[in-house]
Amino acid sequence: MNDVSVTTRHVPISKYNRVPTQSQSHQSLRLLTTYGSNMSSSSNSPATNPSIAPDPSQDGSAIRKAFVLEAAANLFTIPLITNTRFVLSFLLLHPSHINPSSVLFARLFGGLVVGGLTSALLAGATNTRNGIESRRPTYLLLGLGEACLLPILAMEATKGGSADAALSVKTAAVCMGLLAPPLVWRLYVLFLRPDLLGKYLETKDDGKSATKCKCCSCLSESKC
């Protein structure tokens, strides 16, 4: 058998392949633990957010009344769900064209208004943290919907009550008149008077107000 020669090479220990000592391992563990606790403390959820109190200078009382008033007005859509054919006979230009499909879509629209939009308005009327912070997104959502419906109704009015028109000119104009004022109000609040949306103060565990407040229009901390 041939002799096999083994060549060994000494690798110098440098700072890159040095085995950490026990004290260095403990220090690294402490750093990771501290970093993890900081990360967990900086993340919040609606269930663990600190309690709040409305800012006395901007408590959002006007916008709360507007939310409740609009939610109450949306309840007039209930007959569109319960007595769909009767309501459509007053709205549509050709009541004889009412069929099960039009009844279904009318009920879906009414359910969206009553169950979805009204619930969002009632939630925004509350002086809770989630309620105050939801006011701006709610107004943006409703405003975008109204901005889409107005040109559709305008196109329907231009048909002049012809055979292919679903609404009469008067009905389309009345619907536009009902949608335009709320849209103007939302634009006024969102872009000219965001302070109407209200602010809140984060309170400490003892119930005392903290030194910072948040505005639901920008959600940025500011000195009160």
Q: Which residue has the higher pLDDT, 41 or 75?
A: 75
pLDDT at 71 over 70: yes
Q: Alpha helices, DSSP H only, in the chain?
A: 22-42, 61-74, 78-82, 84-91, 100-111, 118-124, 129-133, 135-157, 169-187
| Mean pLDDT computed over every residue of the chain | 81
pLDDT at 17 over 80: no
Predicted confidence at residue 221, as pLDDT, reads 47
pLDDT at 40 over 50: no
Cα separation, 41 vs 220, in Å, equals: 18
Q: Rounded mean pLDDT of 171-198?
A: 96
209-215 and 221-223 strand pairing: antiparallel
